[in-house]
Structure 1
Amino acid sequence: MNSWWFACRKLIGGIPLLFGVTLISFTLMVYFGPDLTYELLGKNPTATAIAEVRHSLGYDQPFWHRYLMYVQQLITLDFGLSMVKDQPVTELLQGAIPVSIQLLLPGFIIGNILAILLAMKAVQNRGKWPDKTIMTFSVIGMSVSFLVIIIGCQLIFSSSYGLDLFPVRGWQVHDKNEQFSWLAYLNYVTVPTIALVLISLGYNTRFYRAVLADEVNKDHINTARAFGHSDQKIYYQLLLKNTMVPIITRTLFSIPMVIISGSLLLESYFGIPGVGLITYEAIIAGDQPVLKAIVGLTAVLFVLVLIGAEILYRLFDPRMGATQK
């Protein structure tokens, strides 16, 4: 009961933060985003034509009126029509969001789990060759561009110059009967997943290694060693449990960045019809309704991640809940 009440309080407390984040993002879009007035007009437009277009786009409305309309769109999930595809933005997102989740989820989960295991191995062998090897490859991974990794994976696994095992582009995960096919899904998701794991592994491993190394010399770990507990219990139960707060923080707060930067590059390069490809096409075409929807929903996602992180902190570390009473 207390956990549910705490979650409700956090959700209610997140409303002002949500308004603040959406206000900042909307302000940036209004003053620094694309102005479609002259793109929709021909050469040498008259003042009357300019005024009519600005009125149809809502540019002549007061700022606060436009912002409240934007908040209403976020609440109702009704963002109007895409200016390029002449299709409801909500309908576009309903088709794109599941694709992005299917694309990014395997690499996100595998990348974080593998990074934690490598960091644990490095901490267990601090100063020895496994630790130095893992950290060396982590630094190398951090220094390579995401785009280079994508191109390299595509050349190795998808081209005739390499193994030629997977499709170069596309996303056809349904069979002839329009049923979801796991085999087709694995065929298309494997290379993007490998690329996502490789680009995130270096950053995550170094972070988790630093967190675990800071915890390993604390008194409760030394006491567990003195009482003869095995290394497996010390590292994979006590140590990991006591570092869950920074691990949760790292994992949850990387979700918006993975969705924006990861899906944008992966989907635009592999031609996958997810949120990233829609965002890329909207940026190129100046499709403001789509951009407003994506920016707004990303802001909402960030606030929800923040609230979710605080709730998980309480579950994994009861001391944090005690300090908030």
Structure 2
Amino acid sequence: METLQYTLRKLVTGIPLILGVTLISFTLMVHFGPDKTYDLLGKNPTQEQITEVRHQLGYDKSFVVRYTQYLKELATMNFGYSDSSGEKVSSILIRTMPVSLALILPGFVLGNLFGVILALIAAYHRGHWIDKIIMGVSVMGMSVSFLIVIIAFQVIFSSSQGLDLFPVRGWDVYSFTDYIHYVTVPTLASIFVSLGYNTRFYRAVIVEEMGRDHVRTAKAFGAHPIELLFKSVLKNSLIPIITRIMFSIPLVVISGSLLLESYFGIPGVGKVTYDAILSGDQPILKAVVGLTAIMFVFTLIINDILYKVVDPRISLK
């Protein structure tokens, strides 16, 4: 009951966030965005043709009316039809979102899991050569562009000059074997890029927790180092770890999938967004931005609920 009441309160308080994000994005994309009138009409249109097309596109309506219509679309999840393909936007998202989740999820989960494991090892051996090697490799990973990593991994694993083990492009997935075949290289690239950032952040959190009074007291009473590391240090470090993971989800789903899908030609929501940016397909862009804002609100709610799960002392009131 407490969780439900908290969720409802958070949804209400999240409305200003959604309104702010959608207002800014609507203003930039639509109100000050490209005028598609002449793209549809071609050269030398008559004034009557211009007036008719601008009316069909809604350009003759006021800003308030157009923005209100956008909010109505967001509330009903009915974003109209794509300017490029003519397909219903909701149908496009329903078809492409599972592909993006299937593409991003393995790298996201493994990147965070390996980051925590390496951070624990580095913190446990703080100041020794193992710690220095892990942190040095992490810095190297952070300094390399995601695009460079994608190209390098594609050359190594997918080209005739490399191992030639996996497909270069596409997403012909009909079985679990096909899925592993197509997802391996993007997953390896995602893990490589995220591992440096995750490891350094998680190590800093764990090292800070290792300096707490209760940890030093347990160590003085002869607690086993490994048991102390997992039961006291890691458990009490979960709050910032959860925060980082949860707030990474909306960004990873949109920005991470956009680069991977556009490069590997994978038909997910990132590829659709990339194509919409190039073509100025406003219905798709409005849908993606609006849903991302909603995703942030739900991320805040789930994040706070997870706080309560890992630490019962935290109240949702």
CA distance in 1, matches of 2:90, 2:298: 20
Match of 1:227 in 2: 221
Post-superposition offset of 1:228? 1.9
Moved more, 93-102 or 67-76: 67-76
CA distance in 1, matches of 2:278, 2:78: 23
Structure 2 counterparts to residues 206-245 of structure 1, below 5 A: 206-245=200-239
- What SS class does the counterpart of residue 40 from structure 1 fall into? helix
Residue 255 of structure 1: which of 249, 255, 270 is its match? 249
How far apart are 1:32 and its partner, in Å? 4.0
CA distance in 2, matches of 1:192, 1:62: 44
State the 1:122 CA deviation: 0.7
| Residues 95-147 of structure 1: per-residue CA shift (max 9 Å, x gap) | 10000000000000000000011111111111111111011011100110101
Correspondence for 1:178 = none
TM-score w.r.t. structure 2 length?
0.95
Match of 1:133 in 2: 133
The equivalent residue for 1:73 is 73
Return closer, same or farther for 1:48/1:10 CA change in 2, 3 Å cut-off.
Answer: same
Query: Is the aligned partner of 1:169 residue 2:163?
Result: no
User: RMSD of the TM alignment (CA)?
Assistant: 1.5
Larger deviation: 245-254 or 1-10? 1-10
Rounded to whole Å, the distance in 2 between the matches of 1:248 and 1:107 is 17
Q: Pick from 180, 183, 198: which aligns with 1:189?
A: 183
**Which has the larger displacement, 300-309 or 149-158?**
300-309
Aligned to 2:144: 144
TM-score normalized by structure 1?
A: 0.93
Question: Distance between the aligned counterparts of 2:12 and 2:290, measured in 1?
Answer: 19
How far off its partner does 1:195 sit?
Answer: 0.5
Stretches of structure 2 that go unaligned for 5 or more consecutive residues are: none
Q: Letter of the 2:126 partner, please give it.
A: R
Contact 2:30 2:282 in 1 (8 A): no
Identify which of 299, 305, 308 aligns with 1:305. Answer: 299
After superposition, where does 1:1-325 map in structure 2 within 5 Å? 1-174=1-174, 181-321=175-315, 325=317
2 CA distance for matches of 1:281 and 1:135? 38
Gaps of 5+ in 1: 175-180
Shift of 1:62: 1.4
Question: Would you say how many aligned residue pairs link Structure 1 and Structure 2?
Answer: 317
Q: 1:70 to 1:48 in 2, by over 3 A?
A: same
User: What percentage of residue pairs aligned between the two structures are identical?
Assistant: 59
Instruction: Name the stretch that deviates more: 131-140 or 306-315.
Output: 306-315
Aligned to 1:177: none
Alignment CA distance shift 1:59-1:319 (3 Å): farther
SS of residue matched to 2:40: coil
Q: Does the 8 A contact of 1:111 with 1:200 survive in 2?
A: yes
**Is the 8 Å Cα contact of residues 14 and 307 (structure 1) preserved in structure 2?**
no
Deviations 1:191-219 (A, max 9, x none): 10000101111111111111111111001
Distance 1:79 1:5 in 2: 30
